């Protein structure tokens, strides 16, 4: 059961925190009710509650964390708080239940572009992050420059399908090591748009395709850099003969990213990109994260607060 | 067993009732280092000799007040009510604050809203948000005013400081919350879960954006 607020935020060209938190308070219980109903489940059959502790918008996290724990308390159920970011990686288990670490994960969304290593001991460390915009932000900002609606990722994805990704060669990020940087390519797009007095539909599609190509290429370069270390790029080893790579987060719905990842990594790595609906924020991935964390550390022993700055653990 | 929650202000409280009788209460001052409110709730229910299954109704303060506090209180209340299939009520925070006055409730309640604004309530009217500068024109000349934080009126409108009830005439928040809860349970209608909403919590800029939006 997913309730999207995209329509609510679309007129503003981005998520308005205050609106998001308001909508959460009103819609959360009805959403839970409907999910239980769809699953044909009664409260008596529920064994535990999992809830996102962070990271995210504080107003939204507060609602989820308190409502979830209140339900658990009132029904005397164990409760576990998990990381939304880790859940984007663990979403892969919904498709491959036997998946186990070590795993190289790429989490790309509106708020994050993180390269992580899920270690055999269950812990997760971040080995690359963005120095400026997240990949999803780069798509949103690019869409705005191209006059496309919010959310920008799907809009660019759709338009890019009609364009030539080699029409314009946008710069690739120069961030060192395994980090990302998207501000350069965004500025380059702005420059390309400004230097034209008018833009035909075909040109707009070409710009979208080329911009998307630059972002996708930058993301996959870093994944390859982490898998196949070179003196210049750093990167790690110990992934085993066929390293497992998971790509998750809202941007992992991007068709070009999925396709390019398969062609570039498909032969050397065991690649898992969950179905698009499991890449978008969803509660099933929180469930998957809860199962893994539950095995590792058990339920939370005492009430906990929301943590808007929570990392992967 | 019924439960009342007010986490909308600087002073916060929980009250556990049996019918109209108070079984246990907890008053505290908001602090970032505090344990989660649910931990207090668990403790106060235990002190009342109750357990989650005994819950019959819950009421929470709906604001105006702190963004964080309101979300905590309303989400807890909604979760409890939904999980136990019991009625859920909300109560206006400033009407609760007015009941902190000893004797009759204060006729005016003011709460600091930050950025030189106050949440202002007077009997028989819904709460509003006012710039501090407009307070002098809005305050009735003979009002009994209760303010959060105490002593606030002196800093906002020094000339009217005498209208504010002194700290010695204030009761604990839990006492006011108990009375408000009884009144609410007796005379108000429970809410549907999709009606739960905090009052007046947007910063002025967000409110403005909302009005201007297509
Ligand atoms: Zn996400």
Structure confidence by residue, pLDDT tens digits, A40-94: 999 899 999 999 999 999 999 999 999 999 999 999 999 999 999 999 999 999 9
A59: Cβ contacts below 8 Å, ≥ 6 apart: A17, A18, A20, A21, A24, B67, B71
Could you say which residues of chain A have pLDDT below 70?
Answer: 1-4, 6-22, 230-236
Distance A86 CA to ligand 1 centre (A): 9
> Residue A130 has what DSSP assignment?
B
Residue A219 pLDDT: 96
Q: Closest-CA residue in chain A for B39?
A: A303
CA dihedral A164, A169, A170, A176 (to 10 degrees): 120
B174 neighbors A10 (Cβ within 8 angstroms) = no
Q: For residue A25, which residues of chain B lie inside 8 Å, CB to CB?
A: 71, 74-75, 78, 196-198
Structure confidence by residue, pLDDT tens digits, B105-117: 999 999 999 989 9
CA distance B49 to chain A (A): 15
Structure confidence by residue, pLDDT tens digits, B42-80: 999 999 999 999 999 999 999 999 989 999 999 999 999
| Angle at CA of residue B113, ends B111 and B116, nearest 5° | 110
> Residue B164 has what DSSP assignment?
B
As a whole-number percent, the residues of chain A with pLDDT over 90 amount to 80
* The token pair that represents B181 in the structure block: 């809860």
As a whole-number percent, the residues of chain B with pLDDT over 90 amount to 82
Question: Is the per-residue pLDDT at B208 higher than 60?
Answer: no
Residues from B in contact with A at Cβ < 8 Å: 35-39, 41-42, 52, 55, 67-68, 71-72, 74-80, 82-84, 193-198, 201-203, 206, 209-210, 213-214
Q: For residue B198, which residues of chain A lie inside 8 Å, CB to CB?
A: 22, 25
Contact at CB, B38 and A33, closer than 8 angstroms: no
Contact at CB, A303 and B196, closer than 8 angstroms: no
Contact at CB, A25 and B196, closer than 8 angstroms: yes
Contact at CB, A29 and B42, closer than 8 angstroms: no
Classified as helix, coil or strand, A78 is coil
CA distance B79 to chain A (A): 5
Q: For residue B79, which residues of chain A lie inside 8 Å, CB to CB?
A: 29, 66-71, 73-74
Structural domains in chain A, CATH included, are 6-88+279-297 (3.30.420.40), 99-273 (3.30.420.40)
Contact at CB, A70 and B38, closer than 8 angstroms: yes
Measure CB to CB from residue A59 to each of B55, B67, B76 and give the nearest one.
Answer: B67
- Please name every residue paired with A244 in a beta bridge, in sequence order, or none if there are none: A103, A270
Distance A132 CA to ligand 1 centre (A): 18
Structure confidence by residue, pLDDT tens digits, B156-170: 999 999 999 999 999
Residue A240 pLDDT: 81
């Amino acid at each position: 059961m997913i309730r999207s607020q995209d329509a609510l935020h679309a007129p503003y060209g981005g998520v308005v925190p205050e609106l998001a938190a308001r909508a959460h308070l009103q819609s959360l219980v009805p959403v839970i009710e409907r999910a239980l109903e769809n699953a044909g489940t009664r409260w008596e059959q529920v064994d535990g509650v999992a809830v996102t502790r962070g990271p995210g918008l504080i107003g939204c996290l507060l609602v989820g964390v308190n409502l979830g724990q209140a339900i658990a308390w009132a029904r005397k159920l164990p409760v576990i708080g998990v990381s939304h970011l880790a859940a984007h990686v663990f979403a892969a288990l919904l498709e491959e239940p036997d998946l186990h670490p070590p795993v190289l994960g790429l989490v790309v969304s509106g708020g994050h572009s993180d390269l992580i290593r899920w270690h055999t001991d269950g812990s997760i460390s971040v080995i690359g992050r963005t120095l400026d915009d997240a990949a999803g932000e780069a798509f949103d900002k690019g869409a705005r420059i191209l006059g496309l609606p919010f959310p920008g990722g799907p809009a660019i994805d759709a338009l890019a399908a009609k364009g030539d990704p080699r029409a314009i060669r946008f710069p690739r990020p120069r961030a060192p090591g395994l980090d990302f940087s998207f501000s350069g390519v965004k500025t380059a797009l702005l420059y390309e748009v400004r230097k034209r007095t008018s833009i035909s539909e075909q040109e707009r599609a070409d710009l979208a395709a080329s911009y998307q190509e630059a972002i996708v290429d930058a993301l996959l370069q870093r994944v390859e850099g982490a898998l196949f270390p070179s003196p210049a790029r750093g990167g790690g080893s110990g992934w085993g003969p066929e390293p497992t790579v998971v790509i998750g987060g809202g941007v992992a719905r991007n068709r070009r990213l999925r396709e390019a990842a398969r062609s570039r990594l498909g032969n050397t790595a065991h690649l898992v990109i969950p179905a698009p609906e499991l890449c978008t924020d969803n509660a099933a991935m929180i469930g998957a994260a809860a199962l893994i964390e539950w095995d590792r550390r058990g339920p939370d022993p005492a009430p906990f607060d929301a943590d808007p700055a929570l990392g992967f653990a | 067993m019924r439960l009342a929650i007010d986490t909308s202000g600087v002073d916060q409280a929980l009250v556990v009732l049996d019918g109209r009788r108070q079984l246990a209460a907890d008053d505290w001052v908001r602090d970032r280092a505090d344990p989660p409110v649910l931990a207090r709730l668990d403790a106060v229910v235990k002190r009342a000799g109750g357990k989650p299954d005994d819950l019959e109704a819950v009421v929470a303060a709906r604001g105006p007040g702190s963004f964080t506090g309101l979300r905590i209180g309303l989400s807890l209340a909604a979760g409890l009510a939904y999980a136990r299939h019991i009625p859920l009520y909300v109560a206006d925070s400033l009407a609760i604050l007015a009941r902190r006055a000893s004797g009759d409730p204060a006729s005016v309640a003011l709460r600091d809203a930050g950025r030189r604004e106050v949440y202002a309530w007077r009997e028989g009217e819904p709460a509003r948000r006012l710039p501090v500068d407009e307070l002098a024109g809005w305050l009735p000349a003979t009002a009994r005013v209760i303010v959060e934080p105490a002593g606030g009126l002196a800093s906002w409108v020094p000339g009217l400081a005498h209208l504010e009830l002194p700290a010695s005439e204030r009761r604990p928040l839990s006492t006011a919350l108990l009375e408000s809860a009884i009144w609410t349970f007796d005379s108000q209608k429970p809410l549907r879960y999709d009606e739960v909403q905090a009052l007046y919590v947007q910063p002025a800029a967000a409110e403005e954006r909302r009005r201007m939006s297509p």
